[in-house]
Amino acid sequence: MIIDFIIGKYNYLAAIILMLIGLYSVIINGNLIKKVIGLNILSTAIILFYISVSKVKDGSAPIYARDVIRYDNPLPHVLMLTAIVVGVSITAVALAIIIKIREYYGTIEEDEMAEIDINEEIVDKK
């Protein structure tokens, strides 16, 4: 039964594993660039899930051709094109903010930034 489950849904399982790798990276890394890399992996995993849903057995690519019985579902492809575009926009804005943070703090590690913040507060109180 569990073998059937894995064989029938291996694509979804792979998408879930990739998603969890990305999520783990986003949560655990103190380094901001690593966080952005994790976000990229997360979005790719979600796209993989949608594209797997759109695949039909013995289906052909959704471009009209002769002698084709069945086409794949084109709707998830359209939605995922938008998702990729939004993904690259997120990456670009995040990298710009990282550059600004690096200029202000001189570091992109979360722990060191927190230390600098605490020290500044102490100086302000004195």
Amino acid at 15: A
Interface with other proteins, residue 46, by CB under 8 A: no
Amino acid at 73: N
Phi-psi region of 120 (alpha: psi -120 to 50; beta: other; left: phi over 0): alpha
Count of CB atoms situated within 10 Å of the CB of 36: 18
Interface with other proteins, residue 116, by CB under 8 A: no
Binding mask 4-43 for other proteins (x = CB under 8 A): -x-xxxxxxxx-xxxxxxxxxx-xxxxx-xx--xx-xx--
Interface with other proteins, residue 105, by CB under 8 A: no
Amino acid at 98: I
Interface with other proteins, residue 114, by CB under 8 A: no
- Going by the DSSP 8-state scheme, the letter that residue 62 receives in this structure is S
- Stretch 85-104 residues interacting with other proteins (CB under 8 A): 85-93, 95-100, 102
Interface with other proteins, residue 118, by CB under 8 A: no
